[in-house]
């Protein structure tokens, strides 16, 4: 196990978070995760533990996930494997709606139900058009939608071809997070294994005998609408627990997202990575999908937004 940890940390340290994965000759690491893990020659239990947590974090089975992206997450957590796991225990005290409300108070006008379909910067100002016919003009535009929705926007002039190739493909993440209301589970329970839920753990108390658990898997491997399948998946680890209900969001089916947190397909981010978040003249791209320091996390959205705002103010 120690040799495997050494290899993971050694390879993660090859990544400079500021340079972008396409600029560091890392193609040898941009391979299916299962191939990388097989080379570690881990004992069965340790191997399954690593694969389960990777499935949780990457939102893809190991034969589809990129080993390089797993290493990128280690690098982004101060080159700490433990940091990747422990980063999941911080939540907003009253939910993320508090943050959204606070942000909304600083914005003079918010247009709801206004889906942008075109951004044209071929003239003196940037013209933005919406599906409902609304039109706007601005000196600069910040695109803060998820990367997988950019292919639905007509950019004029077109974005660089290398960038467009990945945008048209979209990242491959299919991560699925399910909140499960149960009766009979112990506080602090954590299950990691070879079930269709690679991880299942305690989230919070509902009442004295009821709790919320959170399960991770991917939408290609599991149908969250099948309550019977959810019950079976929970009982695989916790046979005495009673499942009372579930809640989840289908991010792939949501037209405003078209995918969950970012998880590139093998070979994508060694073609173009940092460039995805770089400005295209007067158009700026922000969000956790293009964050180099905090990919996939809300901190990444805030970090990239701050950078874009500063760039516009000092332009």
Tens digits of residue pLDDT in 235-285: 999 999 999 999 999 999 999 999 999 999 999 999 999 999 999 999 999
Please state the domain extents for the chain.
Answer: 1-87, 96-171+256-314, 175-247
Q: In the CATH scheme, what is the homologous superfamily, with its name and number, of domain 96-171+256-314?
A: FAD/NAD(P)-binding domain (3.50.50.60)
Return the CATH number of the domain spanning residue range 175-247: 3.30.70
Is 80 exceeded by the pLDDT of residue 90?
no
pTM for the predicted model, two decimal places: 0.93
Give the model's pLDDT for residue 169.
97
Residue 42 CA neighbour count, 13 Å, CB half: 21
CA separation for the pair 275, 285 (Å, rounded): 10
Contact in structure between 106 and 305 (CB atoms under 8 Å): no
CA separation for the pair 30, 270 (Å, rounded): 7
Give the model's pLDDT for residue 76.
96
On the 0-12 / 13-18 / 19+ scale of CB atoms within 10 A, 109 is exposed
- Under CATH, which architecture does the 1-87 domain have? Alpha-Beta Complex (3.90)
Indicate the pLDDT class of residue 92, thresholds 50, 70 and 90: confident
Helix axes 33-40, 67-76, angle to 10 degrees: 80
């Amino acid at each position: 196990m120690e040799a495997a940890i050494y290899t993971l940390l050694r390879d993660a340290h090859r990544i400079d978070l500021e340079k972008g994965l396409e600029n560091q000759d890392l193609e040898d690491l941009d391979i299916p995760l299962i191939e990388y893990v097989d080379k570690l020659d881990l004992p069965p239990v340790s191997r399954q533990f690593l694969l389960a947590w990777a499935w949780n974090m990457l939102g893809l089975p190991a034969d589809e996930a990129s080993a390089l992206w797993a290493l990128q997450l280690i690098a982004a957590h101060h080159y700490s494997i433990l940091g990747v796991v422990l980063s999941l225990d911080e939540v907003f005290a009253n939910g993320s709606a508090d943050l959204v409300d606070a942000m909304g108070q600083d914005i003079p006008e918010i247009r709801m139900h206004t889906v942008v379909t075109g951004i044209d910067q071929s003239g003196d100002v940037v013209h933005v058009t919406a599906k409902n016919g609304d039109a706007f003009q601005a000196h600069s535009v910040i695109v803060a939608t998820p990367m997988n929705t950019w292919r639905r926007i007509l950019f004029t002039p077109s974005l660089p071809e290398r960038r467009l190739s990945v945008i048209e493909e979209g990242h491959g993440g299919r991560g699925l997070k399910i909140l499960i209301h149960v009766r009979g589970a112990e506080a602090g329970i954590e299950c990691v294994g070879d079930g269709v839920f690679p991880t299942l753990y305690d989230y919070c108390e509902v009442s004295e005998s009821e709790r919320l658990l959170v399960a991770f898997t991917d939408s290609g491997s599991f149908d969250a609408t099948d309550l019977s399948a959810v019950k079976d998946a929970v009982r695989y680890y916790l046979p005495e627990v009673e499942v009372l209900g579930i809640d989840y969001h289908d991010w792939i089916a949501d037209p405003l997202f078209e995918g969950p947190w970012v998880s590139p397909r093998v070979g994508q981010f060694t073609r173009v990575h940092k460039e995805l978040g770089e400005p295209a003249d007067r158009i700026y791209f922000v969000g956790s999908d293009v964050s180099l320091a905090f990919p996939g996390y809300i901190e990444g959205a805030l970090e990239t937004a701050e950078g874009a705002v500063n760039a516009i103010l000092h332009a």
